[in-house]
Amino acid sequence: MESQIETEVSKRIEARTKEIRRQERDLRTERKRLKLQEEEISAERERIATERAELQKQLERWEREGAAALRYYDWSIQKKVKPQPAPIARPLDPNAQPAENWAEQLHDRLIRQGFVIDPAVLHQFLAAVLSAVTYGDLVILAGPPGVGKTSIVEQVAPMIGSGSAIIPVRPAWTDSTDLFGFFNPQRRVYQPTPFVEHLLLARQYQGANRLYMICLDEVNLARIENYAADLLVTLEKSRSGDGTINLYASTIADCLESEYAELVRVADQWTPEQAARTAQLETMRARYPPALALPLNLVILGTVNVDETTYMLSPKVLDRAFVVRFPPADWSRIGGESSEAGSEELIPLSVKWVHGLAEMDLPNNIAQECKKLWKSLCRWQVAYLKPLGIDCSYRLAESFRQFMKISYHGLSLEPKRAASAFTQMRILPRLAFTREESAVGQPERSKIQVYEKWCGDKYLDSFPGLADVLEVMDELSKGYPVLQFWR
């Protein structure tokens, strides 16, 4: 009986064991099936994601191609029909001439607008501007802060129909790129400056027969010899037809032309980047050539303050400059509120008229008087200027001859007053010496003795106001070791 029970139990256990093993096999099979199904689902998800990405790329490509087609269409239209820019100002009649007393009219208008300026200073300013237009000289406006050096440019320019711009000089300016810009090799594009932009604007004013004045404010905050040497040389050459500044190398321009030609060849397949680059190159080709000629209507001015934060102007700069000195402010001359507002065009000066001044001959009596005044300057050169260490160039002699013509025909200044203004603007700014310093070539005499003798020279009567200026320079320098113009 017991053996039958054991046999029965064994059979049941064996049967149950087989059932469990079968169920395990079924579970493993189901697990494999689920795993395969999971892998299939994952692969399907990846396929869908890939297909979606491909569709997105195709959509973006279609959008780029459509945009490129539109840009190509716009570019094609613009190449065929270029919009003409609006004129900067009304062109002046080439034959127009101002009234004989136009400088006095201008002074009266300035006074009525509340701008305080001495007539002699205004005449010097106008004579210097006219000479700068004709011969490419630099005009320096010197004097204490707040006496109208910058304001005179802003006030006078619109009254004579001229454009103007004030560009502040930075102490960090070290070379010509601060004025003329540079080619950026990383972006492959020319980087212009405000100065270059105003040069381009000046060319448009020249097309309208009008002047254009660019004033470098605080010109001696940096060494002008470092950042503006090329400008001074080119400005002088420009009046003889050789005044060209290089914005970037011609080899760079050739490379850019090749790049532009290749882009135009594939214009119907442009990417957004290629379209933007083409527009960039077209702007450079049209607006910023590698070499830019200075316009003949251009006047470069610079304001100067002399203190411990600024640099002195070197003789080679002063040899190319007219220095207009503004006196300290005189509050008693302030007349209250101005009776007129605005600086409307009063006496437009045409470029042709200004350039024609130096081509006109002086009447015989005026020419003879100018020769006598020049002889006085020649005597002074030997007796005073050389001993005081002032070296005069041949450029200065030519400048005197032309200045006398421009002052007579352009401002109706009598020769004596013109010669006095010339001496004050072109010779006195070079004056600087210590009181104990020996005279050049005359060791037995001091420079102050030579200067005092000059102050008593009988020929000073032929230069109205010059004796007063020499006396004021001496008075202002008392208590200082150096007697100089820049006080």
pLDDT confidence tier of residue 309, bands split at 50, 70 and 90: confident
Give the pLDDT confidence of 207-231 residue by residue, as tens digits. 999 999 999 999 999 999 999 999 9
67 and 149 fall within a common domain: no
Residues 70, 420: Cα–Cα separation, whole Å: 67
pLDDT of 258 reads 93
pLDDT of 65 reads 61
Residues 346, 101: Cα–Cα separation, whole Å: 13
Backbone angles phi, psi at 215, to 5 degrees: -105, 120
CB–CB of 152/117 below 8 Å? yes
pLDDT at position 340 over 60: no
pLDDT of 93 reads 86
369 and 442 fall within a common domain: yes
pLDDT of 272 reads 82
Q: Does residue 152 fall inside a structural domain?
A: yes
Give the pLDDT confidence of 342-375 residue by residue, as tens digits. 556 788 999 999 999 989 999 999 999 999 999 9
pLDDT of 74 reads 52
Residues 407, 412: Cα–Cα separation, whole Å: 6
Alpha helix ranges (H) inside 208-290: 224-227, 229-238, 250-265, 272-287
197 and 141 fall within a common domain: yes
Mean pLDDT for 112-120 is: 90
Picking from 27-31, 376-380, 440-444, which range would have the lowest pLDDT averaged per residue?
Answer: 27-31
Q: Does residue 387 fall inside a structural domain?
A: yes
Residue 195's contacts (CB-CB under 8 Å, 6 or more residues apart) are: 167, 179, 180, 214
Residues 483, 446: Cα–Cα separation, whole Å: 12
pLDDT of 201 reads 94
DSSP SS3 for 440? coil
294 and 147 fall within a common domain: yes
Question: What is the residue range of 78's domain?
Answer: 1-84
Give the pLDDT confidence of 150-164 residue by residue, as tens digits. 999 999 999 999 999
Residue written as tokens 């220095």? 323
Q: Does residue 116 fall inside a structural domain?
A: yes
18 and 151 fall within a common domain: no
Instruction: List Cα–Cα distances, 118 to 108, 166, 326, 480, in angstroms.
Output: 11, 23, 9, 28
1 or 213, higher pLDDT: 213
Give the pLDDT confidence of 282-303 residue by residue, as tens digits. 888 889 999 999 999 999 999 9
pLDDT at position 73 over 70: no
pLDDT at position 199 over 60: yes
Give the pLDDT confidence of 419-434 residue by residue, as tens digits. 999 999 999 999 999 9
CB–CB of 238/293 below 8 Å? yes
pLDDT of 344 reads 65
10 Å CB burial of residue 440 (0-12, 13-18, 19+) is middle
Instruction: Give the N- to C-terminal CA distance of the chain in Å, as an integer.
Output: 141
pLDDT confidence tier of residue 80, bands split at 50, 70 and 90: very low
303 and 384 fall within a common domain: no
pLDDT of 343 reads 56
45 and 122 fall within a common domain: no
In the chain, the amino acid numbered 177 is: T
Exposed e or buried b per residue across 296-331, where buried means at least 16 C-beta atoms within 10 angstroms of its C-beta: bbbbbbbbbbbeeebbebeeebbbbbbbbbbeeeee
CB–CB of 432/485 below 8 Å? yes
Q: Does residue 392 fall inside a structural domain?
A: yes
pLDDT of 81 reads 39
Q: What is the DSSP letter of 350?
A: B
DSSP letter for each residue of 186-206:
TTTEEE--HHHHHHHHHHHHH
pLDDT at position 86 over 60: no
pLDDT of 362 reads 95
Could you count the other beta carbons within 10 Å of the beta carbon of residue 381? 17
pLDDT of 57 reads 84
Residues in the chain: 487
pLDDT at position 457 over 80: yes
Number of domains in the chain: 3
Residues 266, 263: Cα–Cα separation, whole Å: 5
Largest distance between two CA atoms of the chain: 167
DSSP SS3 for 41? helix
Residues 154, 232: Cα–Cα separation, whole Å: 23
61 and 189 fall within a common domain: no
66 and 134 fall within a common domain: no
Residues 356, 98: Cα–Cα separation, whole Å: 13
pLDDT at position 77 over 50: no
Specify which residues 142 forms β-bridges with: 304, 325
Q: Does residue 89 fall inside a structural domain?
A: no
54 and 126 fall within a common domain: no
Instruction: List Cα–Cα distances, 209 to 160, 328, 359, in angstroms.
Output: 12, 36, 18
Q: By percentage, how much of the chain surpasses pLDDT 90?
A: 57
pLDDT at position 241 over 80: no
DSSP strand pairing (482-484 vs 432-434):
antiparallel
Nearest to 222 by CA among 155, 167, 298: 167
Q: Which two tokens stand for residue 185?
A: 């090799």
Rounded (10°) angle between helices 466-477 and 447-455: 140
pLDDT of 437 reads 92
Residues 130, 18: Cα–Cα separation, whole Å: 120
2 and 131 fall within a common domain: no
75 and 206 fall within a common domain: no
pLDDT of 369 reads 96
Rounded (10°) angle between helices 466-477 and 415-426: 30
Q: Does residue 220 fall inside a structural domain?
A: yes
Residues 302, 321: Cα–Cα separation, whole Å: 10
pLDDT at position 79 over 50: no
